[in-house]
Chains A and B, each alone.
Chain A
Amino acid sequence: MNSLHDTDVNVGDQLAPLVLPLTRSLIVATALASRDYQDVHHDPTLAQQKGSQDIFMNILTTNGLIGRYITDWAGPDSIIKNVSIRLGVPNYAGDTMTITGTVTSKQDGQIVVGVVGANSMGNHVTGTVTLVLGATGQGGTK
């Protein structure tokens, strides 16, 4: 897994999209792996009683998937400093979310990537991730 360096990245660069089928298993497995036991993330009957059409992804997972999306691109020497997201439509089981990203700023050694995760109903998440890329030829230092 190679890491990107500052010189590899320019404002306007687009990250390869990540297409994620939102299986019921994914919704439940990620909710439990993030220790989120709220019923709306694993029990369809209770989720529907509370007005949702089905179980839906929890927020910790949305954060986790965005973190994964960024380091899939930037590599193991990247350091994420901030993830700021705005939540939109729910990620219901059975839908598909496509995450896309664009480098929006590169300043003082920090990169900002604008990310959007969209499903069939619209944007589930929009936000920014601030990170520091690995320094050229200096892997292993901080």
Chain B
Amino acid sequence: MTTAPTDTTDSAAFEASLLQFVGLEIGVVAVAPDEVNVPMVRHWCEAMGDTNPVYLDASAAAASVHGGLVAPPTMLQAWVMRPFGQGRDESESNPYSQLTKAVESHGFTSVVATNCEQTYDRYLRPGDHLTMRTVIDSVSGEKTTGLGAGHFITTRQDYYDATGERVGSMLFRILKFRPAPKPAPAAPKPLRPRPSLTFDHLFWFEGLKQGKLLIQRCAECGVLRHPAAPMCRECRSIVWDTIEAGGGGRIHSFVVVHYPQIPSIEYPNQVVLVDLDEGVRVVANTVDTNADQLVIGAAVQLEVRMCDDDLSLPFFKVVQS
């Protein structure tokens, strides 16, 4: 599966340009620093936990199908590994570097090895001296993978003994890919809308911050009022104080809001109009209440909750339907 290129002509030209690398030999012929030897085989077998006697036990090896000591076949690549401290040949004349740079210039900057296929023409024996030639075997078109879009690059390493006979071969495939963008971290949940505070109802929000639902009371005639207002509806007095609501009440009415949705509020958004036991009505959200518990007349209990550092609000929970 290929992704839709933004510019078909450019993309096709790019992919065609990659194909010119196929079949090119990479760098110089690598010469193994050491002949195949028993000490290195011993280190390998010790580390791998390999107890096959044909690698280290000369008499058992002689009696085996191999007729003498051989090296573990999977050790093939180890004989020509780069010395410690020596980096990859990244010179500009190296076709593999050119290919890598070409692919990276199109954003395929990450790399992962995907496949390794070794074929052994014969087992190696102590004294064999290897050389290795590397050829760019294939370059895929753009592929979509779990890691992101990318190109598979396969190299072939052929291993030869001192007589020039091929003793083994390895296909090694990597994926050069454009890392899939990481999902943006989830934005913090926005805060509930702020009340526009005025002197007339500041006391109400301040009371909630202390965990109290306050009800305004006329200091002259004693009538309770909510929402807060500067003057008594009954006697026109502007002198007032407050009492704290006991927390009991009943559902006078309710509505479940589905739309429009405000990011800071949980949906379905259950809104109740509660007749407090004191005789005033309050609009609030519910807590710990299922939709089927929302019944007109149901008894509710107040819970003041802190929504964030600057806002606490009254919520009601149905305690009896």
Residues of A within 8 A of B (CB): 1, 3, 26, 29-30, 32-37, 59-61, 63-68, 71-72, 76-87, 134-135, 138-142
Contacts and interface: CB of A to CB of B under 8 A. Distances in A.
Given A35-B81, A81-B119, A139 B114 contact: no
A34 to B, nearest CB: 5
Contact of B46 (A33, A59, A138, A140): A33
B75 A34 contact: yes
Interface residues of B, number: 40
A105 B50 CA distance: 25
Across chains A and B, which 6 residue pairs bring their CB atoms closest together, nearest first? Answer: A35-B81, A67-B74, A33-B47, A84-B117, A68-B50, A63-B74
B188 interface: no
A17 B268 CA distance: 53
A23 to B, nearest CB: 11
B113 interface: yes
A7 B73 CA distance: 24
| A interface SS class | mixed
A82 B118 contact: yes
Contacts of A79: 65-66, 123
A13 to B, nearest CB: 20
A32 B46 CA distance: 11
Contact of B47 (A29, A76, A83, A85): A29
A72 B165 CA distance: 29
A68 B40 CA distance: 16
B169 to A, nearest CB: 10
Contacts of A26: 47
Contact of B52 (A29, A65, A66, A68): A68
B119 A82 contact: yes
A85 B40 CA distance: 24
B48 interface: yes
A61 B75 CA distance: 9
B114 A142 contact: no
